[in-house]
Amino acid sequence: MGKKRSGGGLTGSQQAAKFLGVSVLSGVVLAGMAIPAAGALGLAAKGTVEGFDEIPANLKTPPLSQRTTILDAEGGQIATIYSRDRQVVPLTAISPYMQKAIVAIEDSRFYEHGAVDLKGILRAVNRNAQEGGAAQGASTLTQQYVKNVFVEEAGDDETKVREAQEKSLGRKIRELKYAIQVEEELGKKKILENYLNITYFGQQAYGIESAAQRYFSKPAKDLTLEESALLAGVVQSPSRYDPVNDAQEATKRRNIVLQRMADTKDVSQAEADAAKAKPVTLKVTKPKNGCITAVKGAGFFCDYVRNAFLTDTAFGKTREERAKVWNQGGLTVRTTLDPQSQDAANESIKDHVYQEDSIATAVTMVQPGTGRVLAMGQSKPYGFGKNETQINYSVDKRMGGSNFGFQVGSTFKPFIAAAAIERGMPPTKVYQAPNKIDYPTPISKCDGTQWLNLPIDGKIQTAKNETEDEIGPYALRTAMEKSINTYFVEMIGEIGLCPVTEMTQKLGVVPADGSKLPEAPSIALGSAELSPLTMANAYATFANRGVFCTPVAIESITDAHGKALAVPKSKCDRAMSTETADTINTLLRGVVDSGTGERAGLNDRDSAGKTGTTDSRYNAWFVGYTPNVSGAVWVGSGGAKKITMENIVIGGKPFEKVFGGGLPGPIWKDAVSGALSGRESGNFVTVGIPEPTLPSGGPRGNKPTTNPTRPGKPGGDGKPGGRPGGQTGGHGGGGATGATGDVQPQPPFPGISIDPNTAGVIGGRDDQ
């Protein structure tokens, strides 16, 4: 279209001034103000030219918010998310009936006038004067489009939305100036296309394509005459003419539109009458918005993807910038979710833990070497109802998880072993590992200070094994398979806390609340509160032969125009030597072959893992892996109320005590077996770890202590053929040395040392 100027050659500023004079003098705010009207009435108002000229010349039209589609790794739809359910389509994808219907009822002279309709304004002035009401009517489609742009720009800010819709003189003047610009720049067809894509049709549907899908479950291009008339009629008042809630009012309004189309010769009277005679027939598709509608039980993964977007600077420097992009929508997000793995996780969860159970479980799987999150599920579904939750038990707090995470128990022990082996400790290392010991003290920390086992309420902190018959000495392999608590307490006492801290940092092991791991020997027994995703991804490093990769959930993103956005990639760094990783793999393979995780072992594939049960029995774990998938299973009480898992029924089965190998292990086995069904399997590179011949014989003396704050006990008497008796007591009491029994000659084993002078940490439990 060419540029237009109306009103007897007056400039825009002169016309605006005259028009404002009309408004001031009449006391009526004219809806649908127009420069031509101001010129025709020949009135002016002092001081308004400058105000009109100060309005920015260019209307800044924000991109229309649209739905975002989240896909799995194979392209299947997981969920749609939107702040406004809209799908922008070109005019060619909109039924001609719809185009004619909206023009007929909203602005029948749309193709004849410019940005404003002089005749319409004069009719509105006369009508309002006769009726004595407020100014209304005469607003063109172009002006309505501009108003909708203001509303769209306001977003979800209710105050700004009200301001954009207010019937004030200032807002009308702005609307007027921008309408002139839009008419000159876009032309009629583009304005009509934009209007049909931006306007609200009720039932959470923005734009004609979403409206056609919502009310009739069909695309806008297939709308019939009567369907088009119905939707065109809704626009004036989406709540009043809502066909879902008031079919009678909607039918009356539809028939008005049909008659208007006949009057404007868009259809014949016969066509209009035939359409009027048809009842309103809807085929409603309910709104499906947000992660609560996710398929494949992937609501929590969907929410994790959203949080991953909002927390990554790749999508904007500030959270506000990232939220704006996300809420604007129109994105197609392809994720790393593997449908087969997700289905397997869901099925395993349903088989072992019921939704209505008092405790919950979460299963997370990742791919070693890529960091790709393959599956994420839990027994309490994503939602707001009974036995539902929006807390994602699999992830850290900042990603939608619980406030603190869950104590991991003995699943922490492989990190200690990895730190020790990386420092040169041989995998044949032997510790005395008595049934109960005190914390070793002092223990060096990273900052050069030392941790001391000071009395708490008059008591020194101790650690003990699960059963009374678990008495050392033990070598590392057996200690890992049996999950001997006191062995790893002694190990951390020897190597210090700093190597463990440094190793966990390399493995991405960070508490779920975002704090730092405490530098205290209690971490040897899993006092740290972590998330399943953190654990699964850390163990994936072992499967990946020592290379840690950060977890990723987003594979690719395209915007509404099909343009690819840059997405963060997994960052991989070596956390330990291949030799250390291979040694850990060998040790943890033994756990599932003949140790506490035997019920989790895969019969036809290499697998490795570790059980974990906390002293309180609030949490039980199994974290395991094959060469191509790593998974963590947590079972426990996810709510504020902590439940001890003793004498409890879970998944319809009674449990006297829940151990990591007894329930989480089988859940892991079923989930991983399903995830890998029909897929190639790999093999670990294992190392030979000779089992040293340990001293044996009669009972040893009483346990030693080196804690200076606690009196020592006299050593016991050694028996013929037995081990040495207990060593000298600690500085506190100076207990006597026990008599040494005769020791049978033993062959030397390089790297083996038996040090009875150890002291303990916080009491913990072994796993079964």
Phi-psi region of 500 (alpha: psi -120 to 50; beta: other; left: phi over 0): alpha
**Beta carbons of 532 and 633 less than 8 angstroms apart:** yes
Q: What is the pTM of this model?
A: 0.75
- The span from the CA of 198 to the CA of 54, in Å, is 27
The helix-helix angle for 413-422 and 578-594 (nearest 10°) equals: 140
- The span from the CA of 548 to the CA of 506, in Å, is 7
Looking at residue 28, its pLDDT comes to 36
Closest CA to 631 of 641, 642, 621, 643: 621
Can you give the C-alpha Rg of the chain in angstroms?
37
Taking residue 222's Cβ as centre, other Cβ atoms within 10 Å add up to 11
**Beta carbons of 617 and 598 less than 8 angstroms apart:** no
Q: What tokens were used for 329?
A: 């929508």
Amino acid at 483: S
Residue burial 223-242, b: 16+ Cβ < 10 Å; e: rest? bbbbbbbbbbbbbeebeebb
- Strand pairing report for 572-574 and 547-549: antiparallel
CATH second-level architecture of 1-54+86-287? Orthogonal Bundle (1.10)
Q: What tokens were used for 13?
A: 């500023």
Question: Which of the 8 DSSP states describes residue 640?
Answer: S
DSSP percent split of the chain into helix, strand, coil, nearest 5: 40, 15, 50
Looking at residue 743, its pLDDT comes to 30
Looking at residue 727, its pLDDT comes to 31
Instruction: Give the CA count within 13 Å in the CB-facing half-sphere of 637.
Output: 14
Q: What tokens were used for 582?
A: 């291979």
**Beta carbons of 639 and 685 less than 8 angstroms apart:** no
pLDDT along the chain (768 residues), means of 10: 37 40 36 37 37 54 85 96 90 98 94 74 55 53 88 72 68 79 88 94 93 97 98 95 94 97 97 96 88 92 96 93 90 98 98 95 97 97 89 95 90 98 96 93 91 88 90 94 95 95 97 92 91 98 98 96 94 98 97 93 92 91 97 88 92 95 97 95 90 60 35 35 32 30 29 30 39
Burial of 167 (0-12, 13-18, 19+ CB in 10 A): exposed
Which residues on adjacent β-strands are paired with residue 629?
626
**Beta carbons of 558 and 566 less than 8 angstroms apart:** no
Amino acid at 87: Q
Looking at residue 178, its pLDDT comes to 84
At which residue do the structure tokens 């709308």 appear? Answer: 223
Reported in sequence order, the residue ranges of 524-597 that DSSP labels E, i.e. its strands, are 529-530, 547-549, 554-558, 564-565, 572-574
Question: Which of the 8 DSSP states describes residue 347?
Answer: H
Taking residue 113's Cβ as centre, other Cβ atoms within 10 Å add up to 20
Q: What tokens were used for 538?
A: 């850390």
Tell whether omega for the bond before 518 is within 30 degrees of 0, i.e. cis: no
The DSSP string of 96-122 is HHHHHHHHHHH-TTTTTS-SS-HHHHH
Residue burial 361-378, b: 16+ Cβ < 10 Å; e: rest? bbbbbbbbbbbbbbbbbb
- Strand pairing report for 68-71 and 332-335: parallel
Q: What tokens were used for 553?
A: 């959930």
The DSSP string of 312-329 is -GGG-SSHHHHHHHHHH-
Give CA angle at 509 (675, 345), nearest 5°.
20
Q: Is the dihedral of CA 658, 659, 665, 668 positive or negative?
A: positive
Coil, strand or helix at 725: coil
